[in-house]
Amino acid sequence: MATAAEILAELKTLGTEQTRKTLKNHGGPDNMYGVKIGNMKPIQKRIKKNHALSLELFKTGISDAMYLAGLISEPKKMSREQLQNWVENSVWHMISDNTVAWVAAESSFGWELANEWINSPKEDIATAGWNTLSGIVALRDDNELNVDALKNLLKRIEAYIHTEQNRVRYTMNGFVISVGTYVAPLREIAIATAEKIGKVSVYMGNTACKVPLASEYIVKSDGKPVKKKKTVIC
C-alpha cells in the first residue's frame, strides 16, 4: 500500500496550472496542485478505502490530497473528534462543503454535528453543516428522518436565508432542493418554501456558476418517492 508521501508525489505530477487557475477562480487556496477530480479516480480505484491513509492525506492541508482523503475515507470509522477536526481545518469551501459534508453525512455523527455546525459563525463550518444535512436526507429512508426537525429547518431557511453569509445562502438553498427531491412527506412543503424564498443571490467568484432556483430545480416525481442514494461521496 502506498504511503501518504507517495500519493502526494503522484498527485503533484497530475496537477496542471490551468486546473489550478480554474480552482482559484472558484476560491481555491494556493496550497494545491491543481488535479482534476477525474484524474484522482484511478488512485481512488486502486486504494479503494483506507481510513488511516485518508486521515494522513487530509492532515497535509493540500487541497487535492484532502479531496482524495474523502474519496477513500471510511465514514463509519470516523470519530466525532476526527470529523470536527476535518471541518475546522478545511482549507476552502470545496473541502468543507463536499469532502467533509459527504463523509459526515455517511458517518454515525452527521446529524448531531450538522445541527451544531449550521449555528457556527464561521462560514465554511456552517456550509458544511447544511450540506451534511442535504446528504443525510438523500441517503436515509424517510422513516429514519426526523421530519419535524426538517420542517423547522425549512422554516428557519424561509425566515433567514437572505440575511445569511454568502455561501451559507447557497447551501441553505441546496438543502431545500434536497428535501424537496428526496423526502416524500416534505416535498410540497419544500416546494412552498422554495417559492417563498425565490431567487437567492450568492457571489460565486470569477466563474459562470449560477445559483439554482429551488422551486424549478426540485425533481418532479409525480408524487412518487425519489430513490435514495447509496453514497454521496463522489
At 17 the pLDDT is 96
Q: What residue type is 145 in one-letter code?
A: L
Give the residues of the chain that fall short of pLDDT 50. Answer: none
pLDDT of residue 225: 63
Q: Which of 115, 97, 93, 42 is nearest to 72 (CA)?
A: 42
- Looking at residue 2, what is its pLDDT? 86
Position 223 scores a pLDDT of: 61
What's the pLDDT score for residue 23?
94
Residue that is written with C-alpha cell 497530475 in the block: 14
pTM: predicted TM-score of the whole model, two decimal places: 0.95
Rounded Cα gap, residues 18 and 31, in angstroms:
15
Residue 200 CB-density burial (10 A; 0-12 exposed, 13-18 middle, 19+ buried): buried
Residue 75 half-sphere exposure, CB side, CA atoms within 13 Å? 20
| One-letter identity of residue 151 | K
Which residue shows C-alpha cell 425533481?
A: 219
Q: What is the pLDDT of residue 221?
A: 60
pLDDT at 206: 78
> pLDDT at position 195, please?
96
Residue 47: predicted pLDDT? 96
